């Protein structure tokens, strides 16, 4: 029987990449019971590179209706969890990208990947294959993180001279959309969308249309995801609070509101989710 162990190493990319990639997380989990791990919604587009067996994504109630095996994947913003079947062992690296990073690294707006998962090669091409090969050949986490810095810096530098805010699309991100995203994230979704639109000098509808075109979700959807993300962080802390305390701290009207949202985003009630999630968060 394999002894249970969990290693997680987190670092930030080099400063020039930080507007596009907020973190690298290396993980190696061994000896846990087999099950289904739910990658829950949050503020980041996600890249995951497996350093062992391919990721086995499955479709189930409450999760993204997508299935397949991925050696390396890219996922967009979504209000549904990603269900990954595992045998109790996982080894890989996860990157968290900003919407601006979708343009800088993939050459497309975040909206192009909303509610979807794709092979990393489909959006990164040859540099994606190089990235995966070099990380699997590396022997240490610092070496893998250094590879990420080197390859992604090169990818960003190859974007058109008009800059990463166009990401090869020819249309720059509207500064109002960038500011709306910044405020939503800064306040963990606890923002009145009508007031936000008025502050930007736009109607609520105009903000919604432009925001959705770039991000792939409406401002209200992103606000709900950010509030859920905050609740999830509180629920997975080393000393997690009660569900009543989590709901209050995250800004839900009451615990019933939290339960409804949790079911919507994961397909499970909070207590059922906590019992079924055997891997560390």
Beta strands in 51-99 (DSSP E): 55-58, 68-70, 72-75, 82-86, 90-97
- Domains of the chain (ranges plus CATH)? 5-157 (2.60.120.10), 175-219 (1.10.10.60), 221-276 (1.10.10.60)
Q: What is d(CA 264, CA 246) in angstroms, rounded to the nearest whole number?
A: 17
pLDDT score recorded for residue 100: 93
pLDDT score recorded for residue 279: 66
pLDDT score recorded for residue 66: 87
Q: Edge-to-edge strand order for the sheet containing 72-75?
A: 5-11, 21-30, 90-97, 45-50, 72-75, 117-119
Tokens of 122: 């489909």
pLDDT score recorded for residue 220: 98
Q: Which residues of the chain have pLDDT under 50?
A: 161-164, 167-168
Q: Are 245 and 237 in contact (CB under 8 A)?
A: no
Tokens of 253: 């009207």
Residues with Cβ within 8 Å of residue 2, at least 6 apart in sequence: 30, 31, 89
pLDDT score recorded for residue 170: 54
Q: What is the 3-state secondary structure (H, E, C) of 180-200?
A: HHHHHHHCCCCCCHHHHHHHH
pLDDT score recorded for residue 76: 97
H-run or E-run covering 175: helix 175-186
pLDDT score recorded for residue 34: 93
pLDDT score recorded for residue 166: 52
pLDDT score recorded for residue 62: 78
pLDDT score recorded for residue 92: 97
Q: What is d(CA 207, CA 230) in angstroms, rounded to the nearest whole number?
A: 24
Q: Are 39 and 81 in contact (CB under 8 A)?
A: yes
């Amino acid at each position: 029987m394999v002894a249970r162990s969990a290693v997680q190493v987190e670092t930030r990319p080099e400063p020039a990449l930080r507007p596009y990639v907020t973190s690298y997380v290396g993980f190696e989990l061994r000896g846990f019971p087999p099950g289904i791990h739910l990658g829950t919604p949050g503020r980041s587009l996600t890249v995951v590179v497996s350093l062992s067996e391919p990721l086995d994504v499955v479709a189930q109630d409450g999760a993204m209706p997508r299935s397949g095996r991925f050696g390396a994947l890219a996922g967009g913003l979504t209000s549904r969890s990603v269900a990954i079947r595992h045998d109790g062992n996982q080894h890989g690296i996860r990157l968290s990208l900003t919407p601006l990073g979708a343009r800088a690294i993939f050459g497309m707006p975040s909206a192009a990947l909303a509610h979807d998962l794709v092979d990393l090669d489909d959006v990164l091409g040859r540099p994606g294959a190089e990235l995966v090969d070099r990380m699997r050949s590396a022997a240490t986490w610092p070496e893998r993180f250094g590879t990420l810095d080197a390859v992604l810096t090169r990818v960003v530098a190859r974007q058109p001279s008009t800059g990463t805010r166009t990401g090869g699309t020819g249309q720059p991100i509207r500064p109002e959309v960038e500011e709306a995203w910044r405020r939503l994230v800064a306040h963990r979704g606890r923002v009145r969308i009508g007031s936000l639109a008025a502050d930007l000098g736009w109607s609520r509808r105009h903000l919604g249309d432009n925001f959705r075109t770039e991000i792939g979700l409406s401002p209200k959807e992103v606000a709900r995801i950010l509030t859920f993300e905050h609740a999830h962080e509180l629920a997975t802390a080393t000393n997690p609070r009660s569900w009543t305390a989590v709901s209050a701290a995250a800004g839900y009207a009451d615990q019933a509101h939290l339960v409804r949202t949790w079911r919507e985003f994961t397909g499970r009630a909070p207590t059922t989710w906590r019992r079924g999630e055997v891997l560390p968060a």
